[in-house]
Amino acid sequence: MLTIARSELIQIFRNRLVLISGFVMPVAVGAFFVYRHEVFAELGSLGYIAAIVMCTVSAFGLYTSLVTTLASRRQNLFLKRLRSTAAGDAGILVGLALPATVLALVQVVGMLVVLAVVAGGPSNVVLLAVAVLATLAMMLGLGLATAGLTNSPEHAQVTTLPVSLGVIAVASWVGLSGTESLTLVKRLLPGGAATELVVGAWNGGVAVGESLLLLAPTLAWVVVAVTLAARMFRWEPRR
């Protein structure tokens, strides 16, 4: 597993498409929100900025990168060859997904630390960490599911757009308008409950019982995504 992960990490930095879409772009967007935090805090709050940073990195740095990687490895039959080794299916997928997951986590933590330094830290660090990990798990599962529908790295640029842009749009909607209206709809959409949890964890005012309730929709999406991935993921190209 670790050998696969090390090899995949090297390939990530050699692939310009993955490097730009998965790392350069989310870092640039996140840095812009952090740099202009005073403007965006007036529109929403510091919690809103933290949620947008988290969702942007998880959508592009993890989700899009993972789908592109898996589609590429399937297309060149690398996945098929890996299955002929001693590594099990789970170990193969973990090894391929680990570099993008770790890099996305480092990106999120790094930008949130900078935001905390320049604008003030979160009210509840533990709750914020739980929200970030739950969101990354959700995007990881959705990435595995979407990879089953993606035939090539070029195709990934199309298949990943609905989820990646949708999660960011939901985060903006919830972060700017709150959940006083259309509460159930906003919380059930991917990223909605996670955004509300991040906003509450950063700005304060979220009770423990309420935070557990907000975790439920995100964890439900993890279950749905993993179930879809188990049904749709393919190890070989379609004939």
Separation of alpha carbons 214 and 37, rounded Å: 25
Domain definitions of the chain by residue range: 2-232
Angle between helices 125-147 and 89-119 (to 10 degrees): 140
Distances (CA, A) of 80 to 88, 90, 92, 161: 12, 14, 11, 27
- Upper half-sphere CA count for residue 210 (Cβ side, 13 Å): 11
What pLDDT does residue 195 have?
93
What pLDDT does residue 134 have?
93
User: Please, which residues have CB within 8 angstroms of residue 53's CB and are 6 or more apart in sequence?
Assistant: 30, 33, 34, 108, 111, 112, 115
What pLDDT does residue 89 have?
80
Burial class (CB in 10 A: 0-12, 13-18, 19+), 228: middle
Render pLDDT for 155-203 as a digit per residue (tens, 0 to 9). 888 999 999 999 999 999 998 988 888 989 999 999 999 999 999 999 8
Separation of alpha carbons 238 and 115, rounded Å: 45
